[in-house]
């Protein structure tokens, strides 16, 4: 069972509770739990259209979700709410995120047009891949 809790400020940001609940459901799948238990990273998510920021602090089997920006993130994701949902709908094939279908190609296009900004895309690629696998609803 994954240890997921809400930290300071999470009550004020509905996105925090929603993501925590989504992750709890996702982590009932053993393959996702395995990646979750290896993930050690601080991730900032900014839903620009909703002016909402949350920080997810992953520590190998534990996650605290905070409202706002807490500490220095290893990975920062800034985009609109619709694209955040697209990220959650990326398929996982052969143990990796699949960018070669309609959803995946849409995410790549938004990256290239800067409608989706990911800091840490190259420098934190292994952590970002694990994060994508853990967050994916597929």
Which domains are assigned to the chain?
3-135 (3.30.1050.10)
Residue 95: exposure state from Cβ atoms within 10 A (0-12, 13-18, ≥19): exposed
| Residues 80-97: tens digit of each pLDDT | 999 998 999 999 998 889
Give the separation between CA 30 and CA 36, rounded to whole angstroms: 10
| Residues 18-61: tens digit of each pLDDT | 999 999 999 999 999 999 999 999 999 999 999 999 999 999 99
Give the separation between CA 46 and CA 84, rounded to whole angstroms: 9
End-to-end CA distance of the chain: 19
């Amino acid at each position: 069972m994954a240890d997921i809790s809400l930290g300071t400020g999470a009550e004020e940001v509905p996105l925090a509770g929603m993501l925590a609940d989504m992750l709890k459901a996702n982590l009932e799948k053993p393959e996702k739990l395995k990646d979750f238990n290896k993930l050690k990273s601080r991730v900032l998510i900014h839903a620009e259209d909703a002016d909402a920021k949350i920080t997810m602090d992953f520590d190998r089997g534990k996650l605290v979700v905070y409202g706002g920006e807490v500490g220095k993130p290893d990975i920062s994701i800034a985009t609109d709410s619709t694209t955040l949902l697209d990220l959650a709908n990326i398929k996982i094939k052969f143990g990796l995120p699949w960018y070669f279908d309609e959803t995946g190609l849409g995410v790549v296009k938004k990256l290239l047009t800067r409608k989706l900004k990911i800091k840490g895309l190259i420098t934190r690629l292994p952590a970002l891949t694990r994060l994508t696998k853990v967050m994916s609803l597929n």
